Amino acid sequence: MEKKLKAYTDFIKAASSHPTPEIATYHATMLRQFQHERFIHLIITMFFALFLIIFFIFTSVLFLTLSPSLWSNIFCYSSATITLILFATTLFYIHHYYKLENGVQQLEALTPKIHKIT
Is 117 part of any domain? no
Closest CA to 44 of 80, 107, 86, 102: 86
**DSSP secondary-structure letter at 115?**
T
pLDDT at 75: 87
At residue 109, does pLDDT exceed 70?
yes
Task: State how far the Cα of 6 lies from the Cα of 92, in Å rounded to an integer.
Answer: 19
pLDDT tens, position by position, 51-67:
999 999 999 998 888 88
pLDDT at 31: 92
Contact status, residue 116 vs residue 15, Cβ threshold 8 Å:
no
Q: Measure the N-to-C terminal CA separation of the chain; round to a whole number of Å.
A: 30
Is 118 part of any domain? no
> Residue 91 — pLDDT band, cuts 50, 70, 90?
very high
Is 16 part of any domain? yes
Q: Which amino acid is at 16?
A: S
Is 90 part of any domain? yes
pLDDT at 117: 61
Is 14 part of any domain? yes
pTM: 0.80
pLDDT tens, position by position, 2-32:
889 889 888 888 888 888 888 889 999 999 9
